[in-house]
Amino acid sequence: MRPGFFTLRRLLLLLVAVATAGGLSYWLRAGMPLPGQGIPSTAGKIAFISTRSGHPNLWMMNGADGSDTVALTQEAAQDSEPAWAKNGSEIAFTSSGRTGQTSQIFYMDARPGARILPLTNTSSSKAAPFFGPERRIFYLAAGRLTATNPENKDSDLIFPEADMVRALYGDGENPGLLSTGGIVQAFGSEGATMGAVIKSEENQALVLLDTSQNAGALLGTGQRIFAHFLPGGKLLAIYVKGDSLPKMVGAFDEKTAKAGGVVPSIETVFARVGYSPPSHDGSSVVVYDLTATDPASESIKKIGTLAAQPDGFAVSPDGSLFALSFSKPISDGQGGEIGLLVLPTTAAQGEQPAPVYPGTASHPSFSADGKQLAFTSGKDIFVVPSTGGEAKNLTKGQGENSSPVWSPAREKEKTGEPAATIGDKK
């Protein structure tokens, strides 16, 4: 008697083949790691850009001493602007020369040999990626804020939405809110509130966005602006050669923006409320309480005015400290120089910042516990205690190094919680 086609032996072989194919597919998607390699935590790691292999590629090293330095990318490309996922498991970055000459956004697991996945591939240049709510990656595309889901590559135009473009950009006769250049910087919170720095005719303006309502409010203006959301519904802003408005001014809402008219330019809004941007050579430090509902409450707290113009800015993960860096060190008033300053975000008005490092400094970044600061000085990356002390050179002249960004992952023994591991999608 001829045996049937579906024998037990053949069924078992089929199941083994399916399991093997599934495992192979997962192995390829994971970047083909070696068997038993494991997936380490990135706690205490710094991602940075280095030319030590001949091209500005993405690297990673221990933040404590610069040891265990590994290349995450090794192609003949121009990588820049690394940004960590909130659990320290993945990195987004900007790169040109991979899929064309324009800068695009890429994404990968934070380990050597991982696959490098393109998130964008269009003609316009992309910049300034960051991880936002729901693990989406936000970035700027031709002055507009866009978000892409790395799981399915779905992209959404966050601001301005497609049906609001005309109202916000205006036309030749009627300039709109974004007519002078669009967004130059964007940052997000855990919810629908986001911030954007937009270019005005002569300066920049800080706009608070409510993406759930398609509404926006002007907060202040300056030659350059740095801003970051703090825990508890607060917003820290640094206005270089500028200041905050006395109160937030509504700039637009969805109803008026879609009514067929043009949302007024920043200068028009200023003229309407009788506001004249200040002219001074320092920097105003302001904290906004976005939870305040009583107009009489102190929703805008001015920490003070610094007699200096920083070109770098960072906030500690817990929101308690912020750092300002200077590529041209300022005088300490005693014959010395200061290139890195640290101040509490709860500082009283007039409280003076603590000098941390005397030389040139840029791209400051706090460690996950806020106790260390990484920064670029010259062609090297240094770390220094955030309370001040001896700075340690981590890269020691091995190529040109810049843009250090500390992983947000934490050590298990320091937090009592499991450290975030690469590949953890939760």
Q: Domains of the chain: which residue ranges?
A: 160-306, 310-395
How far is Cα 218 from Cα 273, in angstroms, rounded to an integer? 11
Whether the upstream peptide bond of residue 160 has omega within 30° of 0, thus cis, is yes
Averaged pLDDT, 43-61: 97
Q: Strands 193-199, 45-50: parallel, antiparallel or unpaired by DSSP?
A: unpaired
Q: What are phi and psi of 173, to 5 degrees?
A: -85, -30
Residue 48, Ramachandran bin (φ over 0: left; ψ between -120 and 50: alpha; else beta): beta
How far is Cα 146 from Cα 407, in angstroms, rounded to an integer? 24
What is the tens place of the pLDDT at every residue in 244-270?
A: 998 888 888 877 777 777 888 888 888
Share of the chain above pLDDT 70, in %: 85
- Tell me which amino acid residue 282 is: G
Query: What is the model's pLDDT at position 422?
Result: 34
Q: What are phi and psi of 98, to 5 degrees?
A: -95, -50
- Tokens linked to 292: 């305040």
Share of the chain above pLDDT 90, in %: 52
Q: Which residue has the tokens 């609001």?
A: 164
* Mean pLDDT of all residues belonging to the chain: 85
Averaged pLDDT, 371-388: 97
Predicted TM-score (pTM) of the model is: 0.85
Q: Which residue has the tokens 């709109």?
A: 176
Contact 245, 288 (CB under 8 A): no
Residue 31 has pLDDT above 80, yes or no: no
How far is Cα 72 from Cα 358, in angstroms, rounded to an integer? 32
Contact 337, 329 (CB under 8 A): yes
Terminal Cα distance for the chain, rounded:
55
What is the tens place of the pLDDT at every residue in 146-158?
A: 999 988 888 888 8
How far is Cα 231 from Cα 225, in angstroms, rounded to an integer? 20
Averaged pLDDT, 53-79: 95
Strand arrangement, sheet containing 155-159: 126-131, 137-141, 144-148, 155-159
How far is Cα 48 from Cα 406, in angstroms, rounded to an integer? 9
Averaged pLDDT, 269-297: 81
Residue 21 has pLDDT above 80, yes or no: no
How far is Cα 332 from Cα 321, in angstroms, rounded to an integer? 20
- E strands present in 63-143: 70-71, 78-84, 90-96, 104-109, 117-118, 126-131, 137-141
Residue 322 has pLDDT above 80, yes or no: yes
